[in-house]
Amino acid sequence: MRVVLVDAGGANIGSVRYALQRLGVDAQLASDAEEIRGADRVILPGVSTAATVMRRLRELDLVDTLRALRQPLLGVCVGAQLLFEHSEEDDTPCLGLLPGIVRRLPAGEGIRVPHMGWNRLQRRVDDPLLADIAEGAHAYFVHSFAAPVTPDCIAASEHGAAFAAVVRRGHVMGAQFHPERSAAAGARLLHNFLSLEPA
């Protein structure tokens, strides 16, 4: 299986690659449209800002490539936010593969932003991407913006308010948390992504 990591400049690319290696998969970094189109699985990681990653995707001329993919696509953290229409972060137009607007998490009494640490996943839809991830399992989050709970949200989490922790619409998937740093639950999500039956 050919797995590519879209090299959009995010600092966690190496960590995601190692996480896949721990599952026995040697993923390639790719910034070339042809290479990405030819892959069996595409992962869009991102530790950065929505605007920075979108700018990089435009520079590499990858926006239409990502929009046209038919193979399973997984966005991670900012990469998951970019799947939506728009992000409040620097007022950034995103890929628009999923309806919804990414908004800043509301800080409040006892609610600190960035949301940093281990929080529980609340399953909303039974989906093969969540297979063998226990209800209430902890995952590691680090973010200040998040997507809303829409019909595409298959697992939510809560920090002040509920937000989308895992999303899926057909071949388009995203994890707001960091599977590469979420111990067993994270490894399981990546394993499930790699094991999905092609649509």
Partner 1 sequence: MLARRLIPCLDVRDGRVVKGVRFRDHVDMGDIVELALRYRDEGADELVFYDISATPQQRSVDRGWVERVSARLDIPFCVAGGIRDVGTARAVLHAGADKISINSPALERPALIGELAEAFGVQCVVVGVDSIREADGEWRVRTHTGDPERMRAPSIRTLDWVVEAQRLGAGEIVLNCMDSDGVRRGYDLEQLRAVRARCGVPLVASGGAGEPEHFESVFREADVDGALAASVFHSGRIRIPELKRFLHAQGVEVRDD
Residues noted as catalytic? 77, 178, 180
Work out whether 93 is an interface residue with partner 1 (CB under 8 A).
no
Residues whose CB falls within 8 Å of the CB of residue 64, separated by 6 or more in sequence, listed in order: none
Which residue in the set 41, 103, 124, 138 belongs to the binding site for partner 1 (CB under 8 A)?
138
For residues 79 and 45, give the distance between their C-alpha atoms in angstroms, rounded to a whole number.
5
Contact of 155 with 119, CB cutoff 8 Å: no
The residue from 59, 128, 134, 151 that contacts partner 1 (CB under 8 A) is 134
Of 56, 103, 124, 159, the one binding partner 1 (CB under 8 A) is 159
What residues between 6 and 35 interact with partner 1 by CB under 8 A? Answer: 11-12, 14-15, 18-19, 21-22
CA 150 – CA 148 distance, rounded (Å): 6
SS3 content of the chain, % helix, strand, coil (to 5): 30, 35, 40
Instruction: Write out the residues near partner 1 by the rule CB under 8 A.
Output: 11-12, 14-15, 18-19, 21-22, 47-49, 107, 110, 112-120, 134, 137-138, 140, 142-144, 158-159, 178, 180-187
